[in-house]
Structure 1
Amino acid sequence: TLVIAALYFGQEVLIPITLAVMLSFVLSPVVNMLQKLRLWRAPAVILTVLAALGLLGLIGTLIGSQAASLSANAPQYAQTIEAKVKGVQGFALSRMASITKQLGGNKSVAPAVASAGPSPNLDAARPATGGPRKPVPVEVVQESTSPFTIAKTVLAPILGPLETTVIVLIVAIFVLMQKEDLRDRFIRVFGSSDLHRTTRAMDDAGQRLSKYFLSQLAVNTCFGVVIGLGLWAIGVPSSAMWGLMAGLLRFVPYIGSFLAAVAPAALAAAVDPGWTMTIEVIALFVIVEPITGYVVEPLLYGHSTGLSPVSVIVSAIFWTWLWGPIGLIMSTPLTLCLVVMGRHVKSLEFFDVLLGDRPALTPVESFYQRILANNPDEALAQAETLLGDRSLTEYYDGVVLEGLKLAVEDEARGTIDKAGAAKMTRSMLDVIEDLAPRAKAETPVAGPVEVACVAGHGPFDDAVSAMLVQLLGQRGSMAKIIPNGDVSRDRIATLDLTGIAVIAVSYLEVTGSPAQLRYLVRRLRERAPAARIVVGLWPQGEAALSDAEIQRALGADRYVGSLASAVDEIDQLRIGSDAVRSAA
């Protein structure tokens, strides 16, 4: 609240300073270019500012001359507009009369006021005043026409903007002259404890803003030139002025182009007795703006400035309410500064989350949130998007397994009960089943089942086994899932492992050397002595993956920490087993 109050009440000082800083970002590349040409910094700054001032003066002169020539024909334009308004009114009245006649309302209407004899003499009703009234003397006083008064009358409307312009130019000159010193002071105040992060933030902000301003300036200049030439070809008077206004108004996000189209369209309606010119003007803006916004801008500086569309609208409303039209023009760069600072300063990270265009959740968090909400359709939609630039194995390893790790942690804390875990597992199995067409093998898989994927005792291990079976099928291996209950002490004796060459055991969580996994491997070894056993500990980082003592205690043949490694190891063991059988 205090910050907003300071911004509001201090706008007389803050607006010129902010404009000067923004102008310095635009002019800084030009100054750097002149310095590369072996020109000293002070002359480079002065020359750049004078060139910018001359350009602004040229634009102002052009707009003034065009507006003066336009005002000379204003009476003629007013007559055309009046004639069109009467024509529209006549058309509307005739249509209303026609509709009324069709509805049976063609009866004549009696005059509202009937003649009722001579009107009463109002003067006779007035009371007598006692004689004729005396005239009131009127004195005409002519204002002073001294040079000072004339100068005050002429300069008063432009004195405020002229004062602001002078302040902006002076501050911009000092900012450009002392850019490095100001940067060092800013780092000293806000980031002396972390020079690396603060320097990166400053460089990122400077590069982003310079790129944004220069790109916008180039795009909007081209937009204004095209609009001006188009209006000239159509025949709209003062087309150069309207082109300049279109280029300037396009700095206003989203609505600038529409605002720029209003005046030329109205002028076209005043110039042309018909409506052809007005339609052509509207069509010109309707065609040029989408091409500029959806073709030229993405090619020039990417699809985004780093801001979300909602943040652009909200920031435009906020800064307009705070600083008026100037705030509307500066809303995007000011918000961009906040987002850049939020990406590099931890205490300001909420700006990046709220206003930036980066996803608020990582793919892993997004997947976990959708599964936690029991929404497999959204999880599948996210998977389809992510699979556009990665393989199914990479998606399972990098997103699903990491999301399952979050689920295991929440279950260990007690935030997920058994019923919730069962629902999440069903949702994940639905997603995996829907992704089955992407795991289709290049050649049809045929033959006996050679791989058995045994799920661990955790509630989410069934989903991991389902993914592994799917990926093995993509490699051409026939595999099946064995629930954890089928390998218990009571039921493993009835488990049929005939023809199984490799047994893959999946565990999402193993700490130290768990006896349960060791005994499970022992039972599987006794039940299928010829089978090779691969233990998958998901995700990577478990001690058993690197500790030889734990591996010997568990008794498996191979240990893997990713689905990609599991598929490779199982494929090699299966092929080796087939070779041994063939030799035998």
Structure 2
Amino acid sequence: MSDDPVTARLMRRALPVVTALASLLLVVTLAGALYLGRDILVPVALAILLSFVLLPAVRALRRWRVPRVAAVLVVVLLAFGILAAVGGLIAREAAQLATDLPRYSLTLRDKITALRAATAERGGLSDSFSGFFDMAEELGKELQPPATEAAGDARLGTAERPMQVEIHAPRSGVLKTLGSVAGGVLHPLATLGLILLFTIFILLQREDLRNRAIRLAGSSDLRRTTAAIDDATGRLSRLFLAQLILNLAFGVVIGIGLWAIGVPSPILFGVIAAISRFVPYIGAVISAVLPFAIAVAVDPGWSMAIQVALLFVIVEPIAGHVVEPLLYGHSTGISPMAVILAATIWTFLWGPIGLLLATPLTVCLVVLGRHVERLWFLDVILGDRPALGPQEIFYQRMLASDPDEAIEQGRLFLKERALVTYYDEVALAALRMAQEDAARGSLDRDRQAQVGSNVRAVVETLGQVRGRGLALLGRRRQKPGSAEAEAALAAVGPDRSDAAVVLRSEDLAPGWRGAAPVLCVTSGGAFDEAATLMLAQTLTRHGLTARVVSRQDLAALPPGERPAMICFSYLDPISLSQVRLTLRRARQAVPGVSVLVGFWRERDPASLGRLRRQIAADRLVTSLGDALGAALEQARATPEPMRQAAE
């Protein structure tokens, strides 16, 4: 690198642009390689996906002491035999349907005539559908069998027949004819042969391929990488096998339904439905178009078409929303936008085969992104997991001065969990992120004040929300172990039991029955003030009325006001000597008071023990839940806990 500071600065500024251009060039090169190498890559991709499906069968034969080579050959040949039989069945049914289509043209023409007459009475509708009717009539004419010469002679009568002129291409040689025929036959056979060979090779060399993948992914941590790849392989195998079973069952149900309705060639349409359902979102719709059209052409009325439409409308939601979640979860792990984008890209690169392979290939990429550290970006781009955590979304909304989304997030959280848990896991975590940015100089004082003000607005709004447990039982005291108490505990979700406790005035110790038995002292920063407000609100919601004061207000307490507990809230890095001085002054102002200190950034147990000894606090906590538990323990008049629905 040049020693010139100006050149070095320019190079640093140009580095992001160069990186972006290099990434774009890499993407274009990869897309070009996928497009140009599709004749080889498509068989390889199909073989990999087929190996995932066949792997459980191979493992089952291996458990029965069948040699590996024999197990692989038996499973692969059986699978390809089934595929060949299905292909022959499709060809036979398609040929039969093509033979029968001209017979349905008269019914189709009669329906078109009736629809045209009906729409002609409505004026504008006739113009709207005229193009469709003309196209349908042309299709009907094409489906009609050609008129025989005898019929032509009868129509011409005694008129002179016109001279027919035919133009013939030069007769090609035998080799050229054989080459054109062989080219159309050998290419699919060659592709099928490549898929067969690759599938056998992948199943035979699975361990060796896994080891090579581990070496590429990173061999520094063999245990973790091996476990990740094995887990990814198992997940993909189960996913594709379950998807295959579900789609086959879908095709069988559709075929049986079409047969019961009376649609011709139900086996063909059942197979098409099973194959089309591998295409997400639109596969079932595509598979319904052709049988619906055939039903319209076959039935003089509309009952058959309506029954076909109802069949797909009923079966597809059941398969997609009931059976599919039971088999392999509510989702394939891909975001809806990624599914559509992947289908578009793979179809452009590999044609119809790419459309069928889009979802399985994208699932492979997402699973690898979740398990292989170097490929983490694939999960972020394609996966359905949130790109940002709740605390990151909270902080981002605070930076954008848009607290409404954070408030809505909190409302959803409170339907299942306690408010104190939301503050600990989301709001305080977001404040710690803000404090880290402030320590790095990324947030100036104005931005810090703005973020703190937004957080306080969220806290004040959520403090007025009635949580699930509070709406269920209110603030009535229940006996410990009663059904109402257990319901209250269950209502606040998997939180600590303190989140389901509310103390009334008669439940409090004598020193805790004042107007404000708890004083929450903020250290002065914008973020500390928001954290202190959360602490005071949490204590107040559980029957311990708390008031937020500053250190200056604490020093000027009226003589008659004696709190039972003083809570100090610290978020940013602090001076322990200043903390000790503050605590000493608090004890001088209110002799005998209980002192609780909250260090909302500290998590190391060893550091907590050291800090507790150095600052001489009665209680040292690192979460609002711990602070709530400590305060409730001291405030109770009796040691027996009283279960209440708080949140």
TM-score tier, shorter chain, comes to 0.7 to 0.9
| Alignment pair present for 1:570 and 2:615 | no
Question: CA separation in 1, counterparts of 2:637 and 2:361?
Answer: 64
Aligned-pair identity (%): 45
User: How do residues 97-136 of structure 1 correspond to structure 2 at under 5 angstroms?
Assistant: none
Q: CA deviation at 1:569?
A: 2.0
Superimposed CA distance per residue, residues 431-483 of structure 1 (whole angstroms, 9 cap, x where no aligned partner): 22333333965557444221111111221222222222222234322222213
Contact 1:512 1:543 in 2 (8 A): no
Contact 1:502 1:574 in 2 (8 A): no
Which residue in 1 is equivalent to 2:545? 478
From 364, 367, 372, the equivalent of 1:337 is 364
Q: Secondary structure at the match of 1:274?
A: coil
Question: CA separation in 2, counterparts of 1:99 and 1:314?
Answer: 38
Q: CA deviation at 1:551?
A: 4.5
Question: CA separation in 1, counterparts of 2:363 and 2:165?
Answer: 66
Q: Secondary structure at the match of 2:236?
A: helix
Give, as a single letter, the amino acid of the residue that structure 2 aligns with 1:325.
P
Question: CA separation in 1, counterparts of 2:444 and 2:169?
Answer: 92
Q: Secondary structure at the match of 2:300?
A: coil
From 256, 259, 277, the equivalent of 2:283 is 256
User: How do residues 80-95 of structure 1 correspond to structure 2 at under 5 angstroms?
Assistant: 80-95=107-122
Superimposed CA distance per residue, residues 380-403 of structure 1 (whole angstroms, 9 cap, x where no aligned partner): 222233345543222222222221
Which residue in 2 is equivalent to 1:537? 599
Contact 1:462 1:483 in 2 (8 A): no
| Alignment pair present for 1:192 and 2:219 | yes
Contact 2:116 2:126 in 1 (8 A): no
RMSD over aligned Cα atoms: 3.0
Which residue in 1 is equivalent to 2:569? 506
Contact 1:466 1:481 in 2 (8 A): yes
From 91, 94, 99, the equivalent of 1:64 is 91
Q: CA deviation at 1:233?
A: 1.2
| Alignment pair present for 1:461 and 2:525 | no
Superimposed CA distance per residue, residues 317-344 of structure 1 (whole angstroms, 9 cap, x where no aligned partner): 1111111111111111211222222223
Moved more, 167-176 or 342-351: 342-351
What is the aligned residue count?
538
Superimposed CA distance per residue, residues 51-89 of structure 1 (whole angstroms, 9 cap, x where no aligned partner): 112211221222222223223322211222122222222
Q: Secondary structure at the match of 1:540?
A: coil
Q: Secondary structure at the match of 1:51?
A: helix
Which residue in 1 is equivalent to 2:406? 379
Superimposed CA distance per residue, residues 17-37 of structure 1 (whole angstroms, 9 cap, x where no aligned partner): 111111111111111111112
Greater radius of gyration (CA): 1
Question: CA separation in 2, counterparts of 1:176 and 1:542?
Answer: 48
Superimposed CA distance per residue, residues 193-227 of structure 1 (whole angstroms, 9 cap, x where no aligned partner): 33234323322331222122111111111111111
Q: CA deviation at 1:311?
A: 0.7
Bigger RCO (CA 8 Å, 6+ sep): 2
User: How do residues 108-507 of structure 1 correspond to structure 2 at under 5 angstroms?
Assistant: 156-436=183-463, 437-438=466-467, 441-442=475-476, 445-446=504-505, 447-448=513-514, 449-487=516-554, 492-495=555-558, 498-507=561-570
Q: Which runs of 5+ in 2 are unaligned?
A: 1-27, 128-162, 478-502, 506-512, 640-647
Q: Secondary structure at the match of 1:401?
A: helix
Question: CA separation in 1, counterparts of 2:534 and 2:124?
Answer: 74
Contact 1:442 1:474 in 2 (8 A): no
Question: CA separation in 1, counterparts of 2:165 and 2:341?
Answer: 60
Q: CA deviation at 1:354?
A: 0.8
Question: CA separation in 1, counterparts of 2:638 and 2:53?
Answer: 69
Question: CA separation in 1, counterparts of 2:321 and 2:559?
Answer: 62
Contact 1:454 1:465 in 2 (8 A): yes
Question: CA separation in 2, counterparts of 1:365 and 1:224?
Answer: 44
Change in Cα spacing, 1:505 to 1:542, as seen in structure 2 (3 Å) is farther
Question: CA separation in 2, counterparts of 1:99 and 1:3?
Answer: 51
Contact 2:217 2:372 in 1 (8 A): no
Question: CA separation in 2, counterparts of 1:386 and 1:97?
Answer: 53
Which residue in 1 is equivalent to 2:54? 27
Which residue in 2 is equivalent to 1:117? none
Q: CA deviation at 1:138?
A: 8.6
Give, as a single letter, the amino acid of the residue that structure 2 aligns with 1:381.
E
Contact 2:596 2:621 in 1 (8 A): yes
Superimposed CA distance per residue, residues 344-387 of structure 1 (whole angstroms, 9 cap, x where no aligned partner): 33332211111111111122212211222222221122223334
Q: CA deviation at 1:575?
A: 4.1
Q: Which runs of 5+ in 1 are unaligned?
A: 101-134, 579-584
Give, as a single letter, the amino acid of the residue that structure 2 aligns with 1:480.
R
Contact 1:340 1:352 in 2 (8 A): yes
Change in Cα spacing, 1:323 to 1:41, as seen in structure 2 (3 Å) is same
Change in Cα spacing, 1:526 to 1:160, as seen in structure 2 (3 Å) is same
Question: CA separation in 2, counterparts of 1:287 and 1:415?
Answer: 55
Change in Cα spacing, 1:553 to 1:248, as seen in structure 2 (3 Å) is closer
